[in-house]
């Protein structure tokens, strides 16, 4: 049983319920991960002039990345029923954006000549439609291999 418990609450939304965990105290004690994040403007400029662009939004991308075993206990929270801990990265933790960017950069590193990522937004770009279909299929297959899902509503 975890030795600590982070405050949490459940909010009711139009789209359902949402678990909110208050990681402020944990984040205050967490050493910052200073992974270099490119600015969105710089990413757009690095693409240059192309003819076809598709943007992909990853659905709950943080949940595709497992938590390190030693970190799981730190995410422990209690409800009226029992105590839980996250098995995957949770929104609100201090370093999840940097960790996610590192993972997605590594995943797409061999495709940098036709794709870029800014956290959970991926841009695929090409000179023509034929090439673009191949590029899209390549990126979507890579994302599927890593258990990432694309938000088709966006």
* Band (11; pLDDT cuts 50, 70, 90): confident
pLDDT, tens digit, 9 for 90 and up, residues 12-62: 888 888 888 899 999 999 999 999 888 877 777 778 789 999 999 999 899
The radius of gyration computed from the CA coordinates of the chain, to the nearest angstrom, equals: 18
> Is 3 part of any domain?
no
Residue 18: inside a domain: yes
CB neighbour class for 59 (10 Å; exposed up to 12, middle 13-18, buried from 19): middle
Give the residue-averaged pLDDT of 98-123. 94
Whether 151 maps to a domain, the answer reads no
For residue range 73-91, what is the model confidence (pLDDT) as tens digits? 889 888 778 888 999 999 8
Structural domain that includes position 48: 9-146
| Residue 134 within a domain | yes
Q: Residue 82 maps to which CATH number?
A: 3.30.70.270
pLDDT for res 89: 93
Model pTM score: 0.83
CA–CA distance, 81 with 127 (Å, rounded to integer): 55
Q: What angle do CA 149, 93, 36 make, to 5 degrees?
A: 80
Q: Is 82 inside a domain boundary?
A: yes
Please indicate, yes or no, if residue 154 is contained in any of the structural domains. no
24 found inside a domain: yes
Of the two residues 149 and 15, the one the predictor is more confident about is 149
Domain tally, the chain: 1
């Amino acid at each position: 049983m975890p030795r600590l418990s982070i405050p949490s609450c459940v909010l009711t939304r139009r789209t359902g319920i949402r678990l909110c965990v208050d990681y402020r105290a944990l984040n205050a004690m967490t050493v910052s991960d200073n992974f270099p994040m490119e600015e969105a403007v710089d990413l757009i400029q690095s693409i240059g002039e192309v003819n076809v662009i598709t943007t992909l939004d990853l659905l709950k991308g943080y949940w595709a990345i497992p938590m390190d075993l030693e970190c799981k206990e730190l995410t422990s929270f209690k409800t009226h029923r029992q105590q839980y801990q996250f098995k995957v990265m949770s929104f609100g933790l201090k370093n999840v954006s940097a960790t996610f960017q590192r993972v997605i950069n590594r995943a797409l590193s061999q495709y940098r000549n036709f794709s870029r990522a800014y956290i959970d937004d991926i841009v695929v770009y090409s000179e023509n439609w034929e090439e673009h279909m191949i590029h899209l299929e390549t990126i979507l297959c890579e994302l599927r291999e890593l258990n990432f899902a694309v938000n088709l509503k966006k």
